[in-house]
Amino acid sequence: MTSILTSFKGGENLAKKKRSLFNLIFGNNHIQPGGEATQLKMLNGYMPVFSQFGNEAYSSDIVRAAVDAIARNGAKLVPKHIRKTNENVTAVHDNIENLLQIQPNPFMDAYTFYYKVITQLYIQNNSFIYIDYGDLGNIRGFYPINASTTELLEYQGEIYAKFHFLGGQKITLAYTELIHLRRFFYKNDFYGEPNDHALYPTLELINTTDQGIINAVKSSAFLRGLLKFTTTLRQEDMTKQKNKFMEEYMNINNSGGVAATDAKADYIPLNSEPKLINSPQMDLIEQKVYKYFGVSKEIVMSNYDENQWNAFYESVIEPIAIQMSLQFTSKIFSPREKGFGNEIIFESNRLAYASNRTKTLLIQQLMPMGVLSINEAREILNMAPVEDGDKRIVSLNYVSADKADKYQGVEGDDNNDN
């Protein structure tokens, strides 16, 4: 157990005493910039400070459902380490790929990691990932950072990010050690624009609607009827008669549902109908949220067809995959390693969401051309690979273009004419 704990930063003395999660991730001796660091000056005069926004937004069930639909589908993306050359693309199965595909850090599996990263991106429009390097410069893990405030600093020509956490801890990290995903990247030179001004009016509308429904339901149960006495009674007697009437006729034990009164009192029922927002208005509010996050109701409800999924993938999931591919490649590899064609790509088997008819037609068209191997075709059909399934089958109806004339027996016809 001790050997496992000491394999990541800050875990050297975990077996001896309790440690905070902050120290487990960043360690006690993480090198901080010495001397005096100054706030980074932005070109447009904006403050280089980003404060967390999104707690109120994520509390809304509609917002949470929309973001969840994006995060749970985006977390299905599969990271791969490849090396591109002029001739081909080679898969590189190394420690980096293993971390990204299985367990980026000791506390999260890959799906949970990407789900959290994408959720932060869509709630805060900024998502920071800390790259943990070992003593020998090897990558040991990736950690999503959920800080309350982020401040950009400049020290000796280098940019640093200072993170403040709600627990009072703070850490300053080189910007080159951070993977920074952004959304709505417009005015600020480094940060994505926050959601507050754009999303708050809709959130207030949702909150007002929810409170209205709650109050309407409550008010409908307050006053059910009036007990009108035909004679003058003292206040004590009216209260006594009212309580007696309620105990005998307006409780769950009155299975008959009939009340009896004499000439001294008349019971006048009140038809209290709660005024609720109608369905079209509620749909309009929901659509405002879905439109803001770029999803449809069908995607949120997992009731989409093939075309709706393709539109969602191309407009939402694919841009996330592209940005993560570029950021992970840029921050993981050195210029020399990138010069040799090393890349991190995030891809997905889009055909897994196609209809069975589309899958069958695609296999029928592509397998005879050698585009798909047997196992690739089986993967499309959600079937397990088989032995020797990486072989490609090519139909004899296809021939290389430079051999087409010879194959058809027309080579040399011009010479025969002479």
Residue 197 located in a structural domain = no
Residues 6+ apart with CB under 8 A from 60: 203, 206, 207, 289
pLDDT digits (tens, 9 = 90+) for 136-147: 889 999 999 999
Report the pLDDT value the prediction gives residue 29, as an integer from 0 to 100: 47
Query: Does residue 307 belong to any structural domain of this protein?
Result: no
Q: Mean pLDDT for the chain?
A: 79
CB 184 within 8 A of CB 136: no
Q: Is residue 378 part of a domain?
A: yes
What CA–CA distance (Å, rounded) separates 99 from 179? 15
Q: Is residue 143 part of a domain?
A: no
Instruction: Give the tens place of pLDDT for each residue, 272-322.
Output: 665 556 677 778 888 999 999 999 999 999 999 889 999 999 999 999 999
Q: Please, what is the angle between helix 279-293 and helix 196-220, to 10°?
A: 150
- Domain assignment of residue 367, yes or no: yes
Domain assignment present for residue 356? The answer is yes
Nearest CA-CA partner of 372 in 405, 349, 342: 349
The domain tally of the chain equals 2
User: Is 204 domain-assigned?
Assistant: no
| Boundary-marking domain end, from 235, 269, 303 | 269
Q: How far apart are CA 69 and CA 72, in angstroms?
A: 6
Domain limit, last residue, from 217, 249, 269: 269
14: exposed, middle or buried (Cβ count in 10 Å: 0-12, 13-18, 19+): middle
User: Residues 52-65: pLDDT tens digits?
Assistant: 555 578 888 899 99
Q: Looking at the domain assignment, is residue 217 inside a domain?
A: yes
Domain that holds residue 238: 209-269
Q: Residue with structure tokens 């440690």?
A: 19
What pLDDT sits at residue 11?
45
DSSP H helices, 301-355, are: 306-312, 318-332, 335-339
Q: pLDDT-derived band of residue 376, with 50, 70 and 90 as boundaries?
A: confident
Find the range with the poorest average confidence among 5-14, 105-114, 178-187: 5-14
